[in-house]
């Protein structure tokens, strides 16, 4: 199964600039260092946003969980990066009850990721 309505995915700039690519963010620092190793940057956060949508198009949902607020989807697989390497990442999306479009929650390297790329 693919992530539903990926074409309408909601990717908020602050999710990237103040979290996923922010080396000073307490929880996002490790993610920022990881994504920057593969060519992502705060100034070009849109490239990572686009890559995460393409990731959702290319890979299947591996886990779906209904919560009292909506449905959480987990998509895993290789991520296209600006430097041409393809690390394995896990991306979490959420579709709130009463809505149909997925919102990006987070993205992070899978434990089996070869940090040197493939």
pLDDT computed for residue 44 by the predictor: 97
The domain ranges of the chain are: 6-109
Mean pLDDT across 50-56: 98
Q: Are 33 and 105 in contact (CB under 8 A)?
A: no
- Given a cut of 50, whether residue 1 has pLDDT beyond it is yes
Q: What is the pLDDT of residue 112?
A: 62
Give the pLDDT score at 111: 80
The pLDDT assigned to 118 comes to 44
Model confidence pLDDT, tens digit, residues 16-35 = 999 999 999 999 999 999 99
pLDDT at 90: 98
- Round to whole Å and give the CA distance between 114 and 71: 30
């Amino acid at each position: 199964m693919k992530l539903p309505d990926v074409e309408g995915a909601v990717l908020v700039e602050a999710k990237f600039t103040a979290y996923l690519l922010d080396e000073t963010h307490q929880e996002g620092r490790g993610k920022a260092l990881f994504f920057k190793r593969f060519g992502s940057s705060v100034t070009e956060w849109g490239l990572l946003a686009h890559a995460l949508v393409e990731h959702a198009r290319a890979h299947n949902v591996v886990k779906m969980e209904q919560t009292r607020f909506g449905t959480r989807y987990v998509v895993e697989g290789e991520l296209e990066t600006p430097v041409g390497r393809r690390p394995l990442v896990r991306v979490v999306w959420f579709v709130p009850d009463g809505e149909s479009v997925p919102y990006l929650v987070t993205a992070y390297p899978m434990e089996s990721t070869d940090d040197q790329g493939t």
